[in-house]
Structure 1
Amino acid sequence: MKIFLPDSEGLKTAYQLSGKTVPESVLPADPTRIVYSAAHVTADPFSASAPSGRAAIDWEATLAFRRHLDGLGLGIAEAMDTAQRGMGLDWPNALELIKRTREDLPHARVVNGCGTDHLDPADARTLDDVIHAYLEQVEAIQRVGARIILMASRALVRVAKSPEDYKKVYARVLDACDEPVVLHWLGSAFDPALRGYWGAADFTDALEIALDVIEQNKSKVDGIKISLLDKEKEILMRRRLPAGVKMYTGDDFNYPELIAGDDQGYSHALLGIFDPIAPLAASAVSRLGEGDKAGFHALLDPTVPLARLIFQAPTQYYKTGVVFLAWLNGFQKHFIMLNGAQSMRALPYFTGIFRHADACGLLRDPDLAVARMRSLLTLYGAD
């Protein structure tokens, strides 16, 4: 099967599909690595709400995708930035999403984003404002019996004057958590409003502050996910974590190497890229658990070019690529996103994803994917 795809200059050439399709396998219940896929949401295109307005969600399609992830044995990171948290998904809808996933998949491994996004950073005046915002979400999530991943706070960046302010806020919030949580260090590539998190512009200084926060509250910390897109920084921090505190890689550029690890340790996974490449993630980590490190790399390494394209700068728009692949693969009937985010990438981005996904065997139904790719090309006047 072939399709004519335009390049960046609009020149169309024939692309022959590989014919590969990844067979799905299920990650064991006790995998060698804990694996969370940060999951996207499906917008409701028939809502009267404008795409740039309050989130309108297709709940059935959104939950069906979570059943797909759970069926592969993957954990789910719910209501995170992959779900457009803070970029279309507001706190009331995030809480509804957390509740619905909890009800629909009560036995699944799920961690849920808890932040301060209902507090406009411009309205934050004091540390207590930030603490109260965090505690409101902590209480709401714990009320439904769900686990927490403590997200970084834009409001905290605005009001904090020193590293001690970060330590004070985290101590108060973690003290209110019933179970150990996963901390989230999201780099400015993913969210420019978080530049200087932990009260330091330099990574070396920020690292010391983050480690202090963990050490002072380690009974309340299951692990930390860092999304800095720098494997050396992650490895450095991983080697200095207190015993029993896990590193969850959020590095969508270097994940195979970080998950495989070295003779001094390894990272678990909490990744946005594990939404579109979920079948390969499950298969690869299963191989790793069987002692087949070469097989793990053979499956996962070829997905890195796809991931680097999806997460290319400006990185915060990677959700567009994630949802595009969900549409190509039939997990939703349309390519409409919250906040109109389907418009945030250029056509060569989509044609590149199509090629890479095909090469990795990630087009579940090539006939459907080609038909939908052609419809997108028509929309752009390029068919």
Structure 2
Amino acid sequence: MAANVVRAFRGSAGSALLAVGMTLAFIPAFAVPPSSAATAPVALGTAADFSVLGASTVTNTGPTVISTNLGLSPGTSVTGFPPGAVGGTIHAADATAAQAQADQIAAYNDAAGRTPTTTLAGDIGGTTLTPGVYGSTSSLGITGTLTLNGQGDPNAVFIIQMGSTLTTATASTVNLTNGAQACNVFWQVGSSATLGTGSTFKGTILALTSITVTTGVSITGRTLAHNGAVTLDTNAIDGTTCEPGSLSISTPSARSLGSGTADTTITNTLGEVTVDDTRGTGPSDWIATVTSTDFTEPGAPHIPPSAMTYRPGAPISGTGDGLFTPGTTGTLSSTPRTAYSHTAGTGTNHLTWNPTLSIAIPFTAPGGTYTGTVTHSVA
């Protein structure tokens, strides 16, 4: 994925003065250690293809809408469709449902086997959780709003374990903020789950026994029950998938570098520039390149890119793992040159720096306002 940032730069000049605005570069080489070990998502296998998966029965009342598949195994009784509608296929006591159940219990065991870093108890409504593994030896409830804050990372994973039941109150809400995605939220329930009337729920429920979804509940995620029934009543269940992350560059606004007379050099920093890579948990290599046009003033000789020296700046902040390596200090041109690269890293990473541009004003340059364009790409 490439991101291009292009800005035209303007400034003012007196007697052969020059002002140039913002540009983009990357930083000196440094290794950024992981700020913390990221939590891996729970692998659902073929169970990810199901919005609803039960063991004994699946029973529905009213016009429930299920976005993907509905499954049942080893039971055979699926009732209430219609009036309920299934966007995918109903698999009852077939090989597909049996495999999904096998994958679901593997996922349950994975989630239950994670080591919690924070202990929860009682009602967790009105609180905010950040990514990680949370554990309760007993039941959990949600009254009001529970907020899951992804801290800007769309790959942030939340695993909430409980030894017994999960119960949400009427009109309660699980709210996702700052990049958190329902596909990365997993509720490992040691017995049964009951979602209260009119509540809004996010994430995949992995219940050892049964799941009861009462009237008017909306779910972005999945209801997967291993040993018991799934009971529905006029619900909307969207078995969501993760949206891919992105690789992007953000830059400061165009600004003047200052002014100077003919046959002198203007040098200034260019403002903070950031690369954000949220593409996932796999390899996260990228290369940023930079080019420049001439800087021009009507009726005056052009100042070519070769008169501009591009210097990587020291890092201001960085997160993620791997090696961030700068291009060498040198002049710009219309041909892309490496500004900075990231190698040997995995998952989300972020880098902010403040580069410097020096422009040698030709002795032939008359006074005026010189404008140029610097283009930056990352891929």
**TM-score of the superposed pair, with normalisation by structure 1:** 0.23
Structure number with greater CO (CA < 8 Å, separation at least 6) is 2
Q: As a proportion of its length, which structure holds more helix?
A: 1
Which protein shows a greater Rg? 2
**TM-score of the superposed pair, with normalisation by structure 2:** 0.23
Q: As a proportion of its length, which structure holds more strand?
A: 2
